[in-house]
Each structure stands twice: as structure tokens, then as C-alpha cells.
Amino acid sequence: MSNTVKSKEGIEIYEDEIYTLADTYIANLKAKGKYNDDDIKKIMCKPHSFKGMLKYIYKHLFKANKKDKKYNNKNSNIDYSDIDLLNNIWDIYTDLCYTYMQNPTLLNFSMLTGIDITTFNSWKNKEYRAGESKETSVSHSQSVKNWLSECESALVDTAMTGNPGPMFLLKANYGYREAPQQIEVTNGQLPDQTAADIAARHKLSDQGKEMPQLPDDL
């Protein structure tokens, strides 16, 4: 479950402090509960454990304190104007999501970074404080839309397994609808339903979608 990568010399190193803290959180869990690696793998695939890790990383890395330079708000020490930094944090966050079998959401990204969810919505709509450049507005808006697209893609993948939760969120928040099932009648008899038939009933169509306001669920 280590979040290290190997250098050219074969030494395991951390690419970012976020990964270091993620492994520290997991090591603390193992020490407290005397879990083995298989136990920890199962525990970290549970949403509440994953959220606990995000809060741990936030507390030790992104939570603003008195010594931090104040950029945007009292909850985060991140410089919001640095869109490359924000995109890099998003990439690491989604990497952790996929490692621990979680769908990325902007709500959890907010938990990790301390950036309020309403701020993401403002960025998406190109709503900025006076004095910020048009280029900054466009780049932040595009990034949030890209993040939302990745959230949507992850939901689609999960919904295609037949899980009704992601399917509901896609229909409620992204304008998806279920494709009607096509049933062929042969000699007056309905065919037996196979697993493929049942799965087909849950196939999603994204025709006519529009980019929604950020929902509370995402």
C-alpha cells in the first residue's frame, strides 16, 4: 500500500509530501489496531477511512496557521492564483482515489485542500474578485470543468457495474437517462433474461447534457 516510487538507483522515494502523509496515516492505523497489510487494504477502501486520510493530510499540510502567508482564506495556505499547483494537487488527489477504490468528488477535494466548495463553483462560472485577470478566470474555470469531467467519468465507470448509487447521481446531476431495454419476442415467447440483458437496462445515455451547477453530492 506504499505510495512511493523507485528512483533510478532503486531507492523508494516520495514524489510529494501528500503521499508521505498518506502513508503516515496508514502506518498510524496499523499501529493502533495491529492490522496486517490485507486488513489495511480493506479498511482504506472504505469511504470513511479515505476521508479520514484526507483530513489528516489537510491538517498537516494545507491548514493555514499563524506562520503561513495569507493568500485567500483562513482555512487554506494554498495560493489559489497558481492554477498549475492546483492541478497538480488534483492529480495527486485522484491518484489516491483510484489507489483506494474511491470516486473523486469536489467535496472531498475541498476537504483535502480547505478550499470551500462554493469557491469551485465561482471559478467554474468565471466569477472572480475585482483585479484578477481574464486569463486567470478562464484557466480556473477550465480546470474546474476538467475536474468535474473526471468526477463524471468515474461515476459512469461505477454505474456500468450496476451500482444504483452512481446511476442516481448521474441522472440527478449530469442529465443522464437510462436507455430503454429492447426486448425481441420470438414465437410469442419472451426470452429469458441474461446477465447481459439486465446490465443493458442500466446503460447510460448522455444526449442533451448541460454542465450543471456544482451539486452538493459532488
Give pLDDT tens digits for 167-216: 888 887 777 876 655 556 566 554 554 444 444 444 444 444 444 455 55
Average pLDDT score over residue span 69-97: 85
Does 121 have pLDDT greater than 60? yes
Partners of residue 178 on adjacent β-strands: 204
Q: Please return the burial class of 86, using the count of CB atoms within 10 Å of its CB with bins 0-12, 13-18 and 19+.
A: buried
Q: How far is residue 87's CA from residue 83's CA, in Å, rounded to a whole number? A: 6
Residue type, 21: L
Q: What is the pLDDT of residues 16-25, one digit of tens each?
A: 889 999 999 9
Q: Is the pTM of this model over 0.85?
A: no
Strands (E), the chain: 5-6, 12-13, 177-178, 204-205
Q: How far is residue 194's CA from residue 198's CA, in Å, rounded to a whole number? A: 6
62 and 114 Cβ atoms separated by less than 8 Å: yes
172 and 215 Cβ atoms separated by less than 8 Å: yes
33-42, 101-110, 132-141, 181-190, range with the lowest pLDDT? 181-190
Give the per-residue pLDDT at 115: 93
Give the per-residue pLDDT at 183: 53
Does 217 have pLDDT greater than 80? no
Give the per-residue pLDDT at 198: 42
Helix then strand count (H, E) for the chain reads 9, 4
Residues 6+ apart with CB under 8 A from 146: none
Give the per-residue pLDDT at 166: 78
Give the per-residue pLDDT at 26: 93
Average pLDDT score over residue span 54-58: 96
Mean pLDDT taken over the chain: 77
